Each structure stands twice: as structure tokens, then as C-alpha cells.
């Protein structure tokens, strides 16, 4: 039997992933077994995983499966690569038909086993530290996992799974086995478990009640203060006996997916949290036990902050919303002529706003971008479109190498600016080439760049390189732009420009040019791109002549650029890598002459920006 066949048989025994029941972990386990356990290639692993995926509820997207495989291949594992090939068991002789391997499917008609909705009791204030902790964190009859098998400060077993009443009855004594100073570093898992399941895995958690929060890099008094001041619903606050304070934040999530979302929300609003505590079966320190003969793990407090996750959200949102309130007086007092957030034109581009510049492949979008940013960094206009001051601009790009950038930069700047102006460009203009990061990782990278360089404007070229998803999927595009990128723009007050590609021809089948709104929606992808951006600019070629001539149309707020028309008529310079203005009336006449003579027209060179 081949390795691929053995891997297929192994995978057929892996239960399918079910959303809300540890689906992420199940899929990751399958991915690790294929790429690491059987040492399969990415292609072979993906082929098997896609078949297995058909039985999942709901099935994963192909991009998500590929990500799981890359994640499994990049992480360190405690067993050597190919270890499943060494596993025992004889291989069947004779021919083997891989197509006959079937994967397990969830039982369609079986009703889910109901998990009783339980709540911890109010702890008895006269009880021992151990008992007060157990009563605060776990409900009656719930199965609690405690591990006293510890080596070098780490648990080395899945732990013991016993109902809370039995734990209290057997061990609520300072001299008990788990609370004695002779036993060091006892651990407890932060959530209860389903009865008769002893793996300690996320799949076996019975209630997604708590998220573990701790800080390793702050002094303990500062850690405790942050947790107490957060207002979060904290069930127990524990001194680990070491460097950290542990807070069990009560989120009461109905599913693993929602637990992940609530965990991420906690991480977002409280900086400095140790991010490795990201699973619901995580170990914490057991209060009342000893970390060392001189350091006890202590219960500091119970039931802090908001009464519930919902109360915390409501209270926090009430505070946050104050910054979004706009009163009638604010509107009456606003002076458009003195808007502190204005950057370019008549409030055309403002702080926190966005623009997309689209154009076809190979028409000179990169050189156009270079000419725009060089002039705006110096406080100069680009064919009449002027910033209110010299802007600090950053560029993140993926399509041009250093030589391409240098040629475009020199074409725009050669013998055109003073020494003082060139020094200003050194100060105000920064380039970065990034070809790997996409999606959330790219946005985090861009956010660091914005903060570090204190940018007024950032340009990302192209959108295709950095989105990391399906640009035609409206929901994906909307979440990326409105829920992930827009908060960064609001936070940093930076204006953002995407360079983008068009997917549709710039003329109708009848030969008529597209309308302004049709141009706005000509960029590749969902219409949400045009809806989100404050401005859409489209560069498209006009006619067939030398030098090539174009129109740069501003499709949404062109009346604010400060020019009589929302369209710039431009052409490639015949003397270098740069753009110059051309007269549309002149080149229309030249086109007519060219058609009559059968020769291409050469319009007179216009002014350069």
C-alpha cells in the first residue's frame, strides 16, 4: 500500500469537523496528520482533505483548507515528521482502490445531546479558599479537570476529571494531596467537561464559560489593576504564585466559534494580554495549592466587574459611543473652509477617508502614482489638484522592483526641484516593498507603518496583492474594508489610496464612452469597493495616438478637486517617464486628421505637473 493510500485510510477514521463542536481543532488535526504525520506534499494533502471536507458541517472553503495545511506544516510538533508511517499494523496485500475510501459523516437525524444550562453558585464566604474557588467557577454536578502530574513546572497529563462535589469532598483540606506544600504547581482547566470524556481537548468542553487572561511582562500590581479596572465579568482572580495574575473572564459563549469571537474582543480592548491562552481547555493555576514551598497560588477575589458578558458589552459600548455623538450644534458650528481634517482640494480627500485609483494593465498607473505623491509631498499641485500643505506619504507596493521605482522617481524629479525640495522628499516620502502579507497581517503591518512614520496619506499598490480573499465576494470585501480597514483609518486619521485594476472595457459595445458612474464600477471585484471609497479615480486610454493619451476621471466627488472639470486629459511624455497635460480639443482634431491621412497623430506637448 502506498503512503497516499495509508493516509487516506487514516483520514477516513478522523471524525468530520462540525461548527461549534471543535471544528477548527478537528480540521487542524487532520491537516497535521497528512502533512506531518504522513509527510505528504501540499497537493496530495489538499486532495485528501478536500474529500474529507465534504462530510464536514458546514464544509470549509478551499482557501481555508489550504491555510490549515500551511499552518500544520509551519508549526513545531512533538513527534518527528513521518511518524505515522512508522505506526504498527500490517498493510493489506493485493490491489487497493483509493476511490472506495469513504469518510465518516455526522448522523443527520440524530438530535444533539442537550447540555444543561448550569450556573456556578455564590461561594460561601466562610468556606476554604479551594472550596470558594470551585463554587465560584463551576456549577453543581459539573466535571472539573485538575492535574497534579507536573514536571519542571508544566502539566504532563490530561488531568483527572471528577465532579465538583467529589473534588470538594475528597480534597477540601490544607493537608490533602493537591493542597499540600509538598505537591508543587497544581493546575486546573478553566472550563468544565462533558462526563466520561477524559482527553482534556477543546472538543470535550461542556460549557464555553471562561477565557483565561494573564500578562507576563507587567509587574503583578499593574496586572491586577488592569484586570480590576477593565470592568470585565471576572469569575475568579488568581495569583499564580509566579510572575502573573490570572483572570477567568466569564463570556458564557453558546459555541466555540462565539467563544473565539469573545476572546478576540477581550484581546482587542486590553493591550498586552498573553496571546497563547487562546483555547477553552486551557490550564490555569489552582488556588490553595503551592507553586513552590515558599509561593502559594492564591485566590485574590471572586465575581468582579460586570454581572455578565452582555452587561459589559452594553456598558463599554455606551462609553465608546460618546466619541461618535454629533450634535446639531456641532453641525451649525462646523466651518468647511477651516476643516482641520482637510488634506486635498475642497474637502476632497480628508483625514480618515479613502480613494481607489483604477486602470488597465501596462498603462502607467505606477508612474502616475509616483508623480502624484512626489508633488503632494512637496505641497505642490498635481495638474491643479493641490494639498493644503506638504504631506507625509508612505507607499506599500508589490509590483515594482527597486529599479522600476528608481526609474519612475528619477523621471519625475530629474532637474525639476531645488536642493531644499529634494531634502523635503527625503523627509516626507517613504517606500516599502511587501510581497507576502495579506489580509489581517497586512493591515497590522500597515498600521505599524502609519504610526511609526506619522503618515498623512498611505498608498497600497495593488489591492489584489493585499486583500487575501475573493474580491468578488461582497461580504468578504465589506468586512475587510468597513470592519477591519476603516477602524484603522479612524484611529490613525490617515487617508488611504488603493491602486487597483479594471476588469471591464472602458467603452460600450456601441463605441460610446462609459458614464462616470459606470467608470466608478469598472474596477475588478464587488461593487462594495466603489460604495466604500470616498473617491474613485479611473485612468483609461482615449484613442490611438503617439504619445498615448488618457483621461483620469474622478467619479464620485470630482466637483471638490478645485478644477472646472472632474476629468484630467493626460498623455505620456515623449521625453521621459512622466505625465503631462494635453488639450482634448487639439487631440480630437488631430485624430480626425490622422484618420483621413491614415497616419498616427502627434499632438503638441502640454504642461507637466
What is the reported pLDDT for 391? 98
Considering the domain architecture, whether residues 349 and 314 belong to the same structural domain is answered as no
Considering the domain architecture, whether residues 462 and 359 belong to the same structural domain is answered as yes
Considering the domain architecture, whether residues 295 and 154 belong to the same structural domain is answered as yes
Cβ–Cβ under 8 Å, residues 166 and 204: no
Q: Best-predicted range by mean pLDDT among 2-16, 207-221, 508-522?
A: 207-221
Mean pLDDT of 484-495: 95
- pLDDT of 401-417, one tens digit each? 999 999 999 999 887 89
Residue 211: φ, ψ to 5°:
-115, 130
Domain-embedded: residue 123 = no
Q: How far apart are CA 69 and CA 266, in angstroms?
A: 28
Model confidence at 85: pLDDT above 70: yes
Considering the domain architecture, whether residues 347 and 283 belong to the same structural domain is answered as no
Model confidence at 437: pLDDT above 60: yes
Considering the domain architecture, whether residues 427 and 349 belong to the same structural domain is answered as yes
Domain-embedded: residue 144 = yes
Model confidence at 101: pLDDT above 60: no
Domain-embedded: residue 480 = yes
Domain-embedded: residue 369 = yes
> What string of H, E and C letters represents the secondary structure of 532-578?
HCCEEEEEEECCCCCCCEEEEEECCCHHHCCCCCCEEEEEECCCCCC
What is the reported pLDDT for 109? 40
Above pLDDT 90, what percent of the chain? 51
Query: Strand 429-433 to strand 393-397: parallel, antiparallel, or no bridges (unpaired)?
Result: parallel
- The secondary structure of 70-124 as a DSSP string is HHHHHS--SS-TTGGGG---PPPPS---GGG-------SSPPPPPPP---PPPPP
Q: What CATH number is given to the structural domain containing 363?
A: 3.40.50.300
- Of the residues 265, 284, 318, the one at which a domain ends: 318
Poorest-confidence range of 62-66, 291-295, 603-607?
A: 603-607
Q: How far apart are CA 398 and CA 123, in angstroms?
A: 58
Mapped onto helix, strand or coil, the DSSP state of residue 356 is strand
Domain-embedded: residue 552 = yes
- pLDDT of 70-84, one tens digit each? 888 888 777 888 888
Cβ–Cβ under 8 Å, residues 91 and 71: no
Considering the domain architecture, whether residues 258 and 213 belong to the same structural domain is answered as yes
Considering the domain architecture, whether residues 82 and 185 belong to the same structural domain is answered as no
Model confidence at 432: pLDDT above 90: yes
- pLDDT of 498-542, one tens digit each? 999 886 555 555 556 666 666 666 667 888 999 999 999 999 888
Model confidence at 118: pLDDT above 80: no
Mean pLDDT of the chain: 85
pLDDT band for position 60 (50/70/90)? Answer: confident
Considering the domain architecture, whether residues 253 and 368 belong to the same structural domain is answered as no
Considering the domain architecture, whether residues 414 and 270 belong to the same structural domain is answered as no
Considering the domain architecture, whether residues 314 and 347 belong to the same structural domain is answered as no
pLDDT band for position 112 (50/70/90)? Answer: very low
Higher pLDDT among residues 297 and 575, named by residue: 297
Higher pLDDT among residues 387 and 413, named by residue: 387
Domain-embedded: residue 106 = no
Considering the domain architecture, whether residues 439 and 504 belong to the same structural domain is answered as yes
What is the reported pLDDT for 480? 94
Domain containing 313 equals: 129-318
Domain-embedded: residue 59 = yes
Cβ–Cβ under 8 Å, residues 284 and 291: no
Number of H helices, E strands in the chain: 20, 23
Mean pLDDT of 544-549: 76
Q: How far apart are CA 472 and CA 484, in angstroms?
A: 18
pTM (2 decimals)?
A: 0.52
Q: What is the dihedral of CA 22, 24, 27, 32, to 10 degrees?
A: -110
Considering the domain architecture, whether residues 367 and 283 belong to the same structural domain is answered as no
Mean pLDDT of 485-497: 95
Domain-embedded: residue 358 = yes
What is the reported pLDDT for 95? 44
Higher pLDDT among residues 324 and 496, named by residue: 496
Domain count, the chain: 3
Q: What CATH number is given to the structural domain containing 202?
A: 3.30.70.1790
Amino acid at each position: 500500500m502506498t503512503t497516499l493510500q495509508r493516509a487516506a485510510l487514516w483520514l477516513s477514521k478522523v471524525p468530520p469537523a462540525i461548527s461549534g463542536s471543535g471544528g477548527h481543532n478537528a480540521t487542524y488535526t487532520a491537516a497535521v496528520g497528512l502533512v506531518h504525520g504522513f509527510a505528504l506534499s501540499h497537493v496530495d494533502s489538499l486532495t485528501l482533505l478536500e474529500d474529507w471536507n465534504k462530510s464536514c458541517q458546514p464544509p470549509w472553503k478551499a482557501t481555508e483548507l489550504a491555510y490549515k495545511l500551511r499552518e500544520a506544516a509551519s508549526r513545531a510538533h512533538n513527534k518527528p515528521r513521518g511518524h505515522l508511517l512508522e505506526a504498527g499494523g500490517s498493510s493489506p496485500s493485493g490491489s487497493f482502490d483509493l476511490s472506495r475510501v469513504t469518510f465518516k459523516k455526522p448522523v443527520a437525524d440524530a438530535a444533539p445531546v442537550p447540555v444543561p444550562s448550569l450556573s456556578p453558585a455564590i461561594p460561601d464566604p466562610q468556606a476554604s479558599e479551594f472550596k470558594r474557588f470551585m463554587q465560584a467557577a463551576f456549577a453543581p454536578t459539573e466535571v472539573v479537570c485538575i492535574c497534579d502530574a507536573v514536571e519542571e513546572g508544566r502539566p504532563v497529563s490530561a488531568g483527572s476529571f471528577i465532579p465538583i462535589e467529589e473534588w470538594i469532598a475528597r480534597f477540601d483540606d490544607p493537608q490533602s494531596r493537591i493542597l499540600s506544600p509538598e505537591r508543587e504547581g497544581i493546575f486546573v482547566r478553566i472550563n468544565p467537561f462533558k462526563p466520561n470524556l477524559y482527553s482534556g481537548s477543546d472538543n470535550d468542553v461542556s460549557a464555553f464559560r471562561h477565557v483565561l487572561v494573564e500578562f507576563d511582562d507587567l509587574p503583578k500590581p499593574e496586572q491586577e489593576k488592569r484586570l480590576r479596572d477593565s470592568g470585565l465579568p471576572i469569575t475568579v482572580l488568581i495569583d499564580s504564585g509566579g510572575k502573573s495574575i490570572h483572570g477567568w473572564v466569564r463570556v458564557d459563549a453558546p459555541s466555540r466559534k462565539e467563544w473565539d469571537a469573545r476572546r478576540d474582543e477581550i484581546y482587542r480592548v486590553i493591550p498586552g494580554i498573553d496571546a497563547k491562552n487562546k483555547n477553552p481547555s486551557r490550564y490555569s493555576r489552582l488556588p490553595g495549592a503551592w507553586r513552590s514551598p515558599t509561593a502559594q497560588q492564591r485566590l485574590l477575589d471572586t465575581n468582579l466587574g460586570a454581572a455578565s458578558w452582555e452587561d459589559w458589552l452594553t456598558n463599554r459600548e455606551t462609553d465608546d459611543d460618546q466619541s461618535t455623538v454629533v450634535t446639531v450644534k456641532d453641525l451649525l458650528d462646523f466651518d468647511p473652509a477651516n476643516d482641520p481634517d482637510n488634506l486635498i482640494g475642497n474637502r476632497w480627500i480628508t483625514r480618515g477617508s479613502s480613494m481607489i485609483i483604477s486602470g488597465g494593465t501596462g498603462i502607467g498607473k505606477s508612474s502616475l502614482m509616483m508623480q502624484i505623491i512626489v508633488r503632494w509631498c512637496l505641497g505642490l499641485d498635481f495638474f491643479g489638484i493641490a494639498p493644503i500643505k506638504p504631506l507625509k506619504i508612505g507607499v506599500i507596493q508589490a509590483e515594482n522592483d527597486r529599479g522600476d521605482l528608481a526609474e519612475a522617481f528619477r523621471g519625475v524629479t530629474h532637474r525639476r526641484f531645488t536642493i531644499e525640495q529634494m531634502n523635503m522628499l527625503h523627509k516626507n516620502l517613504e517606500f516599502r516593498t511587501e510581497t507576502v502579507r495579506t489580509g489581517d497581517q497586512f493591515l497590522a503591518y500597515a498600521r505599524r507603518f502609519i504610526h511609526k512614520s506619522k503618515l498623512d496619506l498611505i498608498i497600497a499598490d495593488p489591492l489584489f496583492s493585499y486583500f487575501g480573499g475573493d474580491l468578488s465576494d461582497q461580504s468578504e470585501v465589506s468586512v475587510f474594508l468597513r470592519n477591519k480597514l476603516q477602524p484603522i483609518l479612524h484611529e490613525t486619521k490617515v487617508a488611504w489610496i488603493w491602486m487597483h485594476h479594471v476588469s471591464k472595457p472602458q467603452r460600450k459595445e456601441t463605441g460610446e464612452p462609459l458614464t462616470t458612474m459606470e467608470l466608478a464600477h469598472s474596477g475588478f471585484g464587488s461593487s462594495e469597493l466603489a460604495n466604500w471609497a470616498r473617491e474613485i479615480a479611473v485612468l483609461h486610454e482615449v484613442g490611438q495616438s503617439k504619445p498615448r493619451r488618457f483621461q483620469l476621471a474622478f467619479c464620485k466627488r470630482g466637483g471638490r478637486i478645485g478644477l472646472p472639470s472632474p476629468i484630467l486629459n493626460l498623455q505620456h511624455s515623449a521625453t521621459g517617464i512622466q505625465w503631462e497635460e494635453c488639450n482634448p480639443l487639439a487631440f480630437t482634431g488631430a485624430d480626425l486628421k490622422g484618420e483621413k491621412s491614415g497616419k498616427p497623430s502627434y499632438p503638441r506637448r502640454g504642461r507637466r505637473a
